[in-house]
Structure 1
């Protein structure tokens, strides 16, 4: 540890060093540099290595009870003034071992130490402990980390949960934005969900469903990227220190988002569903929430994934914008699937937004038998969406599974990027 008390007041420094002392008492060895310690902190150490300018050792060995071994050693040198009663031995030690003191009493503290019993005792201990006991085996550890993967994950999750709870500028703001966005969407499209007797009304409903998914999803992906980018810098340092492995960290980073996404889904879903005026059945309401949740989740994981694969936040934002544009263009709403050119239809199937749109439209309109009687079309709502959008009956469940697969894919890609990529060059 390199000066762990720097910048701390007396109380905080005492708390830190008490923790270090407790660590030592478990059988571990702590090597620590210290700057102007108090008496209590100095006497918490067992041994001292003191060097003068040039790196020459002038004392090495045990401190003793109330630093008595150290005090006896320096007071045994002719010309060194004795320590006053109650004086800090750390301060006294530094005062009596200066270059000016060497010149004053005409000695070389490094030379005196090399000829002392203290040096011989330390040298003997080094030689003795260098040779392993007979029959002993090399010290081996089965893993780099002190805890197993599950313990690392739980500790990382606890830490990330605290960080998120103490980040109102991110979480509270996005919940406020969710509420405001839901109210805006609900009031703009007030009660249009019941207008299903014409193709124009039907397209309006599908536009609402499309907007409801894309509006907050893109916001989630964009807002999570700065958080992940900042935390990645902290992760590099803690990973290098061997605190935890990449996969438990990535799992905790992904899982900590879930409660907030659920909260967003409930707020957004309840407000928009009833203000827009969709069909008031428990099944359709729950399906609406399910597809909303899956959409917000894959957008959030996508934002995390892009940051994981890019060096800078700016580059991640540029790539994300291009992805959003393509997804919206080829989602099956602006250009319905039957009208997408065959050389671009492949993107429709790997586009998560298209599966969201398919699933949420089928969940709300896939069983509606309301008749549409127009010059260009005569039939039920169910037949209209199958003929004009290419949404086959019975594919709603497949849409949910595909969206789950996208969530897993984006999260796995983020975890792998954390494990194998390192953009820090220091």
Structure 2
């Protein structure tokens, strides 16, 4: 009865997947349209924006130091000279040679420097003339250089998913459809609305279109300030120009845009209003784009008449020797530019006397809200549908998995031909052991290859509180069940007939159920490894050790009595042990063997005698299934904990003067 109940759950989950109703586009746009009467005003739906329609960002004294150890000199990433201002309606480009500290400046301003005990971060930031707290992120969208999406979702589906979670039921279906179409048209994505996004392994939209999609998903929140880390990297000249023109259009609407740009073409360069030049962590220039060429001619180096400004200014702020320069000349040029930049008169839009006390500093939340906008049921439905869509649309992955299952079953079937003599007892144990090990190996390996990449996406979504971790895990687990059940059925059906496993009533059905449950437990194990691993490489490095331990304690390689005392708990959570024991109990119960022919040790007349050789048979199939369910649930709970513990935290920016001195004094006392 219990094995039948598990089979019912597995098959029922597959049916439940097909009954999910797809959702329509859900988004809202500022400004009314033909569906104006259906759009609910949502000025307060993003707490991070704090009601700000425009953001005037000023900053000064940005300094970052990396302590390498007690006996090593600290590395200064930013030297404290970084200051400037990003204003509404203007594009600010942060430029400089490779390794100059451009991305560090941008992430420091956004409050997104990853937390580290080895880092020290100082500086002041001001929003609309008021000082921002050091532990507060800016009310802004940050678009990283490499933005990951679920590759098998279309552009429209990607936007739909995020909008429904962020806005919930605030808009009608018709209004959401209308506004999604509007934002795709604004960002030039209408032609690829129904194309899958893709990635490096799945062919989808182009790199430029993917960059514009990364902006589109952030525009759902209608941010007044947008940071972009090298948005034109990897794009050809045409795609880069189109993308920066999109940024130009957003700035013209009143947005504040800050972008790290590496080696732009002259067409791209000309679309920016303000330029910040950084080299070796020092400010080299801040001011209007129109003035930078003359400034560099005066303080840096003369530009040939036929050289573009973008190329010229990067040459000037590079520590590399220019044509005809000596090492001393290059050093003097860099010192001269840094000194003049430090003396530049930059209007930060603030008054020194207006700097407020810490208790009055502005603070913004790091996400849209302290809790998701949509209900748990909505989160679960959308996450389940997304997970199932990714699985079902990955045709190449499905084909490879199917080939693996069929090939393995044919190999086993070509080797094993089971009878009822004494030798077949050993063959049965060997075959069932291979099945348990092989199923676990393939399921864990596939899971840990895929999940770290998925984690890079969901970590950002969880950090922005789009949804909770629980509905994600439940949705992902249920989405995997139909695939595991199907693949197990294909493998088991071929193998069972070819090898001659027991034909007793109900044994084949139980075999498929046990195989499916074993595969689900293995998937949970892979998820656990992936949750605590920062990358696929680390997960794959940990995997062999975990698999070997599971094989050692699989129930036949070492007896329970001789297991070291400190490791007595390992067999109780042994992935392969429970899978192997369940398959053995199902196969051997009720079997009778011939006593003639070749022998392998003491004669076993019945399946119960054979099970007793390995200390098996004392537990029922229900006991095995309960143990596997507990292990699966425990691994999912630990995976939940893993995602929580590895969630990104960001460095707090300390004021540049007093607090820095306090820290320096504390260090001297320690020494």
* TM-score normalised according to structure 1 size: 0.66
C-alpha displacement of 1:158: 1.5
- Whether the 8 Å contact between 1:222 and 1:303 is mirrored in structure 2 is yes
Contact 1:210 1:333 (C-alpha < 8 Å) held by counterparts: no
Shift of the alpha carbon at 1:31?
Answer: 4.0
Does residue 387 in structure 1 map to residue 629 in structure 2? no
The question of 1:220 aligning with 2:447 is answered no
Task: Report the counterpart of residue 68 of structure 1 in structure 2.
Answer: none
Counterpart for residue 388 of structure 2: 161
Task: Using the TM superposition, give the Cα deviation of residue 11 of structure 1 relative to its aligned residue in structure 2, in angstroms.
Answer: 4.5
Q: Alignment partner for residue 377 of structure 2, among 139, 145, 150?
A: 150
Aligned CA RMSD, in angstroms, stands at 4.2
Matches within 5 A, 1:54-65: none
Q: How does 1:253-268 map to 2 (within 5 A)?
A: 253-268=476-491
Pairwise CA distance, 1:238: 1.8
Partner residue in 1 for 2:644: 419
**Partners of 1:29 and 1:317 in 2: CA distance:** 40
CA distance in 2, matches of 1:290, 1:10: 46
TM-superposition CA deviations, 1:375-413 (whole Å, max 9, x none): 942442334234311113453321121111111111222
Residue 261 of structure 1 aligns to a residue whose secondary structure is: helix
Aligned mate of 1:367, from 573, 576, 590: 590
1:8-407 matches, cutoff 5 A: 8-9=187-188, 11=190, 31=224, 36=245, 49=254, 144-189=371-416, 191-192=417-418, 195-198=419-422, 200-337=423-560, 345-372=568-595, 376-407=601-632
Normalised by the size of structure 2, how large is the TM-score? 0.43
Once the two structures are superposed, what CA deviation does each residue of 1:310-334 show, in whole Å capped at 9, x if it has no partner? 2232222222211111111221223
Partner SS state of residue 534, structure 2: coil
Contact 1:366/1:393 (CA < 8 Å) preserved in 2?
Answer: no
- From the two aligned structures, give the one with the greater helix fraction: 1
Label 1:381 to 1:345 Cα distance change in 2 as closer, same or farther (>3 A): farther
Higher relative contact order (CA 8 A, sep 6+): 2
Instruction: Say if 2:225 and 2:255, in contact at 8 Å, map to a contact too.
Output: no
- In structure 2, the CA distance between the partners of 1:363 and 1:316, relative to structure 1 (3 Å rule), is same
Q: CA deviation at 1:416?
A: 2.4
Q: Report the Cα distance in structure 2 between the residues aligned to 1:255 and 1:323, rounded to whole angstroms.
A: 25
Q: Equivalents in 1 of 2:448, 2:256: separation in Å?
A: 48
Structure 2 contact 528–638 (Cα < 8 Å) conserved = yes
Q: Report the CA distance between 1:206 and its aligned residue.
A: 0.8
Separation in 1 of the partners of 2:554 and 2:566? 15
Once residues 234 and 225 of structure 1 are traced to their aligned partners in structure 2, the CA distance between those partners, rounded to angstroms, is: 15
Instruction: Tell me how far apart the structure 2 counterparts of residues 29 and 354 of structure 1 sit (CA, whole Å).
Output: 53
In the TM superposition, residue 419 of structure 1 has moved relative to its aligned partner by 3.0
Give the Cα–Cα distance (whole angstroms) in 2 for the partners of residues 392 and 14 of structure 1.
58
Asked whether the equivalents of residues 160 and 252 of structure 1 are also in contact (C-alpha less than 8 Å), the reply is yes
Query: Number of aligned pairs?
Result: 332
In structure 2, the partner of 1:118 is: none
User: Distance in 2 between the 1:309 and 1:423 partners?
Assistant: 13
CA 1:250–1:341: 2 relative to 1, 3 Å? closer
Q: Which has the larger radius of gyration?
A: 1
Equivalents in 2 of 1:209, 1:346: separation in Å? 23
Q: 1:256 is paired with a residue of what secondary structure?
A: helix
1:346, distance to aligned residue in structure 2 (A): 4.3
